[in-house]
Structure 1
């Protein structure tokens, strides 16, 4: 799995956030999970760590990823590759 550039990863995460904001069922779940308010989203969209949390949230459920990727015409592995490029995205090898 090849990570994306930071700029490409941030762009994808902003697209995912935009998709999430338009999802009336999933947005409240995201806000509850992150503690963010609807008014925090615009300012937080500039923060790479917050953008990473958007992708972390979506990656919790294959159906969410599939829905987002289908809506944006992305391959299903694209969000995971983007997540790897954002802060905290490197895989930890515990052995």
Structure 2
């Protein structure tokens, strides 16, 4: 579900969502939480801050992902990097 007055309205192409940046280059991204009822052993929240810089032939992205465990124990975290790129540092 995307806001129709947004600067970027992505479209689904196969399994990938694609959109184009407007001329000013700004894009706001947010997620709407989905709530499911039921019992579970693990409850946690996640917040992410992403900074993306685009230069001549280079895209640099810094992602800070914070996990807060409310109940239970988180066994592992998996983050996928798609396409060419390098992971320069991991803290935590």
* TM-score grouping bracket, smaller chain normalisation: under 0.3
**Which structure features the higher share of helix residues?**
1
Give the strand-richer structure, 1 or 2: 2
Task: State the TM-score, normalizing by the size of structure 2.
Answer: 0.22
Q: TM-score, normalised to structure 1's length?
A: 0.21
